[in-house]
Structure 1
């Protein structure tokens, strides 16, 4: 009898552990990564027909599931058709998974704190009529939205590859679908050894890919609300207003900064025409929002461009989307908090809305978590490799922000360095989401108060 009760008790404990939504998120992504690693180690997955070493397989699977794009081997030549198919499926699972799980967590948080507002702004979804969405509707909406965007982008790319580049129909179809899925999910995986450098001056491919990246990075809550209220911006939720305004502002600033810094750099875009430089600068600015494609060689960029890219990669894009980073809403909220402190105001006001104190703490915690992870990882890589600070920091921020841009040192890092980046991609993908959600879900009223005492700040 005791022998039967033991496994039953063990399974009940596992079920209880998995019942927590945060544990479900982490366990789901770990399972996908381990399954992808096993499939990529099969000899059939490599073009050579030989088994891939565990580190390369694990790194690639993690990069795909976490929709990052960092690679140790060239995707288009090292992996077979089967291996590339596995990577594509992992990208789709990762992109859909993060949008779905983040949106469902938003619904759960909304129920916990009892706020009727838009997804992730007050954290419960509402239709134009004010009726809240349930988890099933969120999942269906995420899948439908993703597939529609990917199909539209793939169609444009397929036609372009067919007509302009004389690709065979089957090859054009494959290129279009692969890059469409990779772009909308902000993965940055490409089938060309130079990423998209050969298309740097092609406005159709560059702008189509950039558009898919932006839409995927906005997040399902924003896309859902814009589709219904795009003509009535005054009715947008605070989250949507923040995300759209910050995205537009950051894209504009980053385009100007990168284009200006690289204007005379002949190794990147210095030889392009004026419009070509603007196109390349805009494309890089979009990809620092956590996509990972590049149309100019990142390793040849100037140090000031790398530093600026670090900042934009750390910020990332929208919540409950396919992008990484600490998210633009976190960044904007910290700006509002600082502004309120400078003005000596007791409340933080954003667009005529009071930001709750617990949301302020969540934003500061997520930002501090990101800074700490990047600082520790950068120190570890600097102490165990011979690369300079600017390229190591770029690589670390790219991994944490699940961006995928690289100066080219990834494959040259020691094995422990590659494993560190693997962990960082996983932490960067799930860290901000799980930290923010767990803080919201675990809010507890204190039954007593301690006496106040001030410390000197600054």
Structure 2
């Protein structure tokens, strides 16, 4: 018996070593594999009869789409999330959202740190690659990073502590407002917890029957939700730096400065655009007073970061507002955050490259720092692959459904950017289009750069350089 137990332990250890070697050698492939397995597991869980509120079984397309939306913290749904799922189903959804928001590899590293009280090099590399696409290649990496490898342990602690504290604080702040609606304490506690989790993870699922309707004009409730979404969308690396150097901006990394400045500019421009474009629209802001128009404009601008909550019917927005929302959703939030999109730092890098080219500078600079060209290559790759994913998915769904282009494009971008805003088209899609949209969510969450690295067999270093020739551009 002792020999059998020892052999089983040995087999388990060898299996763990094989998985660990694969994860450290190919972190991108490992991350995609973990996300895929999580989606399969939650599809099975949501397919259980106990997860469904009604007696009939859950259709496979709905179970798959919901599982992908949960793990990818998107917030899109083919069913009414409040009434379709049972309390057990809601619990499964909340658990999946927390796992997806933190990140599978980051969560595994946190659990390893808690259990063993130490963090090895392999775990550090896994956690680093989970939040920084520039670390997905094998070999040496320059340490001029937003968070250095030696700081990964502190970053993981920040992820765990900030997630618990921020979500708890949001829930406490929301609870009185929910109780004022006459909701019983147990239900109010559940709603405050679910709203806080969906806000910080930038998911946007509404698990209560009345949704946001009772709080549509509540400045306090919407303000707290916006704070949660913004904190989740700026990214854990930014939170890590701010918790240590909040009053010393000179010590902020370039990543932190670019994220905060670009996010602030986009939030302001988005709010101004919505206020101007929807000012006279009676179906949205047209019948509101000035204060509510300002509040709703800011709220909608924040939700395009990947928040997913909505107080107005998105399908009633003017075409110009839908286009603005498309652009803001495609950009998304900060790198290493719970938000999606190509990320605000990607936009900032592209803008800085354009400015440098216009000024005749050979290098990009920002905040007295030089930005290497490999960062620009990643930014261009992320943008092009993101645009290609959106274009292909839009074309396929248009061919399958024949739905209006502006609605299809909106929901596809929302899926790719894991935003969760919708024109209501998703509930009317046939199963093939549902699977296409689920695939789009998956590609948007795992990241186009990570996917490209996973498909590459290995990083090759050439021993020669070909002759240079310049094509005509522009």
2:30 is aligned to 24
Partner of 2:44, secondary structure, is helix
After TM superposition, the structure 1 = structure 2 runs for residues 13-412 of structure 1, keeping only pairs within 5 Å, are 17-19=22-24, 20-97=26-103, 100=106, 104-105=128-129, 109=135, 112-119=139-146, 123-124=147-148, 132-134=150-152, 136-162=153-179, 164-192=180-208, 195-412=211-428
Root-mean-square deviation (CA, aligned residues, Å) is 2.6
Structure 2 CA distance for partners of 1:147 and 1:263, relative to 1, 3 Å? same
Q: 1:44 touches 1:80 (CA, 8 Å); kept in 2?
A: yes
Q: 1:205, 1:440 → 2: CA distance?
A: 46
Structure 1 residue 200: Cα displacement: 2.0
Q: 1:324 touches 1:428 (CA, 8 Å); kept in 2?
A: yes
Partner of 1:133, secondary structure, is helix
Say which is worse superposed, 416-425 or 266-275, in terms of deviation.
266-275
Structure 1 residue 11: Cα displacement: 10
Partner of 1:68, secondary structure, is coil
Q: 2:378 touches 2:449 (CA, 8 Å); kept in 1?
A: no
Q: 1:198 touches 1:295 (CA, 8 Å); kept in 2?
A: no
Q: 1:195 touches 1:295 (CA, 8 Å); kept in 2?
A: no
Normalised TM-score (structure 1): 0.90
Structure 1 residue 343: Cα displacement: 1.9
Q: Please, which runs of 5 or more residues in structure 2 have no aligned partner?
A: 1-13, 108-125
Q: 1:195 touches 1:294 (CA, 8 Å); kept in 2?
A: no
Partner of 2:305, secondary structure, is coil
Q: 2:158 touches 2:239 (CA, 8 Å); kept in 1?
A: no
Structure 1 residue 10: Cα displacement: 11
Partner of 2:410, secondary structure, is helix
Partner of 1:426, secondary structure, is helix
Partner of 2:103, secondary structure, is helix
Normalised TM-score (structure 2): 0.87
Structure 2 CA distance for partners of 1:440 and 1:115, relative to 1, 3 Å? farther
Q: 2:105, 2:34 → 1: CA distance?
A: 13
Q: Please, which runs of 5 or more residues in structure 1 have no aligned partner?
A: 1-8, 126-131
Structure 1 residue 64: Cα displacement: 0.7
Match of 2:442 among 381, 401, 426: 426
Q: 2:15, 2:98 → 1: CA distance?
A: 33
Number of matched pairs: 440
Q: 1:103 touches 1:220 (CA, 8 Å); kept in 2?
A: no
Structure 1 residue 232: Cα displacement: 1.4
